[in-house]
Chain A
């Protein structure tokens, strides 16, 4: 159950786009479309932003989008806003019927 690999940090200016990668293996990201992304501002509980690789729950702005290629999933935030500053985590269902998270990426809006 090794954690998925995410960059520790990314940054961008307001209005720009940023992409966060999430690399797993053929036992998780590569084999299942149950990849999710969560946003966690400091001191708050995680919030689901993307499920099933690219689907947005109701209320999540369409500036947030997800994709997957092979063993790597990606979250793209376009039109960056100050309120997007938070930690972001990816997760994937695995072949052993467990869930694995990425190590988290801190997004800084410059």
Chain B
């Protein structure tokens, strides 16, 4: 059974940094692209970033480009999101999600339960 478990969220001041992690199990992690998707309180889903199976392709939403960095460690079956220069509008529940394919094609067949990031002074 596929499991995705996010961690690393919390309260951070504007301008601060945070690193999210996602521990994956139940599938061949190094065969698939992975994504981060966020959902602000009471709002819809917003794609944040995706990384291909071999880390050769990393893509970002315009809203986070230059501030966030996605990475993966296949030896640890883990996905990461380094978030710098955080803003109030980055406050959201951050989901880790698995792609159905090895490259970023955006068809997300498994999702974690989400991890809350709150940016506030």
Contacts and interface: CB of A to CB of B under 8 A. Distances in A.
Interface of A: 1, 3, 34, 36, 38, 40, 45-48, 51-52, 57, 87, 89, 91-93, 96-104
Residue with the greatest number of chain B CB neighbours at <10 A, chosen from A93, A98, A100, A102: A98
Nearest to B98: A48
- B contact residues, range: 20 to 34
Given A1-B62, A45-B95, A45-B114, A101 B109 contact: no
B11 interface: no
B83 to A, nearest CB: 18
Given A34-B107, A93-B105, A46 B61 contact: no
Interface stretch (B19-27, B44-52, B84-92): B44-52
B35 interface: yes
A47 B47 contact: no
B13 interface: no
A99 B35 contact: yes
Contacts of B46: 101
Contacts of A47: 111
22 contacts: A1-B61, A3-B44, A34-B106, A34-B107, A36-B106, A40-B45, A45-B95, A45-B111, A48-B108, A48-B110, A51-B107, A57-B109, A89-B44, A89-B45, A93-B106, A96-B59, A97-B57, A98-B47, A98-B59, A101-B44, A101-B45, A104-B44
B7 to A, nearest CB: 15
Contacts of A57: 109
Contacts of B61: 1, 98
A33 B108 CA distance: 14
Contacts of B47: 91, 98-101
